[in-house]
Structure 1
C-alpha cells in the first residue's frame, strides 16, 4: 500500500475486493464498514488500497 489512507476514505480490501469506508485504525489494522452500513471488518494495511472511480461505480451499479 503506497497511498495514504485516511479515516472516512473509501478503500478496497484486496483479499476479496470488498469496498468499505475506513472507520478507524486500531492495533495496526484498519476497520472498514460497508458504504451503506453494516458490520465492520478488520483489514491489514498490506491488503488495503484506496478505491478508484471504477470501484465506486461498481459498488453503486453505475455504468462505466
Structure 2
C-alpha cells in the first residue's frame, strides 16, 4: 500500500476533491476512481484518487454545519 492510499480518507469518511473543490463522503472505489457524494446527500461524482484528500478542520466543520442547517430548515 502506498503512502497516498494510507492517508486518503476511507469509505464513509468526509473527503475533499481538490479538482472540483467539493467536500463529500467517500462511497467507494471502482475502476480507478473514488466515488463520492455530497455530505447532505445528492448526486454522486467520481474523482481521481490523487485528488482525494482529507479536508481541513475548517472545511470539515463547514460541511457538517451545512448538513445540520439543511436538516433544521427541512423540518416542519
Structure-2-length-normalised TM-score: 0.70
Partner of 1:5: 9
Q: Choose the corresponding residue for 2:38, options 34, 39, 45.
A: 34
Higher strand share: 1
Structure 1's unaligned 5+ residue stretches are none
When the two chains are superposed, the root-mean-square deviation of aligned CA atoms in Å is 1.6
Q: Count the aligned residue pairs.
A: 61
Partner of 1:58: 62
Bigger Cα Rg = 2
Q: Which has the higher contact order (CA 8 A, sep 6+)?
A: 1
Structure 2's unaligned 5+ residue stretches are 67-76
Runs of 4+ in 1 over 4 A off after TM superposition: none
